[in-house]
Amino acid sequence: MKIKSAEFVVSNSEVAKCPNTMIPEYAFIGRSNVGKSSLINMLTNRKSLAKTSGRPGKTQLINHFLINKNWHLVDLPGYGYARVSKKDKKYFQKFITDYFEKRRQLISAFVLVDSRHEPQPIDTDFMEYLGARQIPFSIIFTKTDKLKPNALERNIAQYKEALLDTSWEEFPNYFVSSATHKTGQEDILDYIDKVNQNLAE
140: containing domain: 6-200
Q: 31: which DSSP letter?
A: B
Per the domain annotation, does 114 fall within a domain? yes
Q: How many whole angstroms separate alpha carbon 177 and alpha carbon 45?
A: 14
Our count of domains for the chain comes to 1
Query: Which pTM was predicted?
Result: 0.90
SS3 at position 106: strand
Within-domain flag for 87: yes
In this structure, what CATH number is given to the domain that contains residue 150? 3.40.50.300
pLDDT digits (tens, 9 = 90+) for 2-24: 999 999 999 988 899 999 999 99
The DSSP element (H or E) to which 7 belongs, if any, is strand 6-12
Q: Does any domain span residue 178? A: yes
Helix (H, G, I), strand (E, B) or coil at 123: helix
Alpha helix locations (H) across the chain? Answer: 36-44, 86-102, 121-132, 149-164, 185-200
- CA dist 88 to 28, 57, 113, 114, 173, Å? 20, 11, 23, 24, 32
User: pLDDT by residue (tens digit) across 103-141?
Assistant: 999 999 999 999 999 998 889 988 988 998 999 999 999
Query: Hey, which residues does 137 pair with through a beta bridge?
Result: 109
Interval 37-84: pLDDT, tens = 999 999 999 988 887 544 444 457 899 999 999 999 999 988 765 455
Per-residue pLDDT tens digits for 89-102: 565 578 888 999 99
Q: Identify the pLDDT of residue 107.
A: 97
